[in-house]
Structure 1
């Protein structure tokens, strides 16, 4: 049972046809058909059903493809490790980032990684839903996860990078009247721009509102932090986002809040990796991360808000 057949089966599943898979693999169509038939004979099962919409994996095919994808990616990492002579490193590195975290830091770290390993292919997923991050990890296709909270109890090793403080974004008129730090209770009378119900960012806001006994009106729900910031700047409402998620040019419309809201930012790395993952981790550490610790009237110290299980993206034991 060869990895090449695994790769052919995965290509057919993604493309939905042998012809399209052959084109993506840059091989002849008969070669793909022959390899799929040989794989099905070897396994003694039917991996694909022929439908009007194309080739669709059967139930047993879907189960097989999940394990095949893990095996192919493991082989890719093994090849990359074997070629670990710096500039010669190639293969693919898959990074998943919780939406809104490391928005400013991650591009710089990835650029440094590409300069060090120019042949390395990097794929980045920005994901709002913690459940989807968990699914990617369970499939074994993510090499490094940039996430909030903790990865305790999972197979990934967590490295604390810093703390991401949240700031409120408001219109220019309201920003002119605001102080250096805004009391959350003052914002209860404002309409709020929030995020999708299943997103980690909205989970943060739900807990902040609950802890401060606030029930403001929701004027809009969006999927992207940049959209929330721009709409708040136009006066639609206020929003609460991580500091690094504020697009350039909007910083003057932001204020930290009291009580302070912050999330510990963690890089969760798959153990026993090749040289690319620790290199990216080191580049992430070299970026500027916030470490919260401010004083109110010289006496009150801010606290780190640690995400509860409903918000924290804990990578489970596989």
Structure 2
């Protein structure tokens, strides 16, 4: 049983709605639903009655939620009490993030951090994922939020995975592949692509995935933000490869495109990176806050919230 599971159950009970509860917890609805299912399986009981229009507590849920709420309050009081014995947290916090990082409400976290540590001067640097990884490795930034392959490791850097997702192909509705539901990378290796720009973590991921099949694949459109990647795919200009959560956040696009599973796709993670040997008191407090809000990510999920298919990267040719 995990603290985040207790938080999710309490929020769903308060909102009586999985979607609104997920927004309050700053997670994807599929991830929240999956964690609650895991908890129910562990307990051997059903906590919620679920219908298409309504969510309500079962008898087991009615008994569980008040105790879960008390447990969360106790943990918060314990953390606050322990923190009161630490030295005053002040100085500067230098953090970085990719543009519009998914699955984490960074402004809300910064506001929460500032309320707890008002003496800390906060510097927020927005950049593409690959440069941010170098900046945190060098110690120029205390911590960064990036998207990167789940199996990638960086020397001297610790990583907290905030959310794991599967990469899907967004194909124009009129494309011959649109009739399929599952493809492999080699099936689309010689198609025209709409990509992120060089230096973006997702672009690095996609380039690496195609190395065995098409090292010189055709990246005709290169775009900074995922929203415009989807819009160009909807215009029929090419295929886009994006984390499922990004696509689900823009359901309008799916009226013009088809979303295809990629059978051999490795998982992709939103992650917090930091150098554990260079953490100041201010940086440690920020890492602890992010950990308390998100905890380690579970496995990626499919469109129904079930564990998704992932695969390690194939060796390069």
TM-score bin, normalised by smaller chain: 0.5 to 0.7
Aligned to 2:250: 248
Q: Is residue 277 from structure 1 mapped to residue 287 from structure 2 by the alignment?
A: yes
SS in 2 for 1:133: helix
User: How do 1:192-271 and structure 2 match up within 5 A?
Assistant: 192-213=193-214, 216-246=217-247, 247-250=249-252, 252=254, 253=257, 254-271=259-276
Deviation at 1:241, TM superposition (A): 1.9
Offset, 1:192: 1.0
Higher mean Cα deviation, 118-127 or 249-258?
A: 118-127
| Secondary structure at the counterpart of residue 106 of structure 1 | coil
C-alpha distance after superposition, 1:5-56 (max 9, x if no partner) = xxxxxxxxxxxxxxxxxxxxxxxxxxxxxxxxxxxxxxxxxxxxxxxxxxxx
Residue 240 of structure 1 deviates from its aligned partner by: 1.1
Residue 302 in structure 1 maps to residue 302 in structure 2 = no
1:114 corresponding residue in structure 2: 111
TM-superposed deviation, 1:227: 1.9
Unpaired runs of 5+ residues, structure 1, are 1-80, 85-89, 295-299, 309-318
Q: Give the distance between the partners of 1:124 and 1:143, measured in 2 at CA.
A: 10
Could you give the per-residue CA deviations for residues 106-142 of structure 1, whole angstroms, max 9, x where no partner exists? 21x6425524643466554343252453135425333
1:168 is displaced (CA, Å) by: 1.3
Within-5 A mapping of 1:66-85: 82-84=87-89
1:50-61 → structure 2 map (5 Å cutoff): none
Distance 1:209 1:93, change over 3 A: same
Instruction: Look up the match of 1:164.
Output: 165
| Superposition deviation, residue 279 in structure 1 | 0.6
Q: Go from structure 1 to structure 2 and tell me whether the alpha carbon gap of 1:176 and 1:193 turns closer, same or farther (over 3 Å shift).
A: closer
Match of 2:97 in 1: 97
Q: How far apart are the structure 2 equivalents of 1:163 and 1:178? A: 27
The superposition leaves residues 229-258 of structure 1 with CA deviations (integer Å, 9 ceiling, x where unpaired) of: 211111111111223333423573433212
Q: CA offsets per residue over residues 256-309 of structure 1, 9 Å max, x none?
A: 2121232344322343433232112221328xx561478xxxxx963144999x
Q: Give the 3 Å change call, closer, same or farther, for CA 132–307 of structure 1 in structure 2.
A: farther
Question: What are the within-5 Å matches in structure 2 for residues 285-296 of structure 1?
Answer: 285=295, 289=297, 291-292=299-300
Give the distance between the partners of 1:171 and 1:95, measured in 2 at CA: 37
Measure the CA separation in 1 of the matches of 2:97 and 2:170.
22
Distance of 1:160 and 1:218 partners within structure 2 = 29
- In the TM superposition, 1:114-133 aligns within 5 A as 114-115=111-112, 117-118=114-115, 119=118, 123-128=123-128, 130-133=130-133
CA contact (8 A) 1:92 1:122 kept: yes
Larger Rg: 1
Give the drift of 1:188: 3.8
Task: Provide the C-alpha distance between the structure 2 equivalents of 1:255 and 1:183, rounded to a whole number of angstroms.
Answer: 10
**TM-score, reference length from structure 2:** 0.53
- Is the CA contact (8 Å cut-off) linking 1:94 and 1:141 kept in structure 2? yes
Contact 2:166 2:268 in 1 (8 A): yes
What TM-score do the two structures reach when normalised by structure 1?
0.53
**Count, aligned residues:** 212
Equivalent-residue separation in structure 2 for 1:213 and 1:117 (angstroms): 47
Q: Is the 8 A contact 2:266 2:313 kept in 1?
A: yes
C-alpha contact 2:185 2:209 (8 A) present in aligned 1: no
Q: Secondary structure at the match of 1:170?
A: strand
CA contact (8 A) 1:96 1:133 kept: no
Structure 1 residues 83 and 248 mapped into 2: Cα distance closer, same or farther (>3 Å)?
Answer: farther
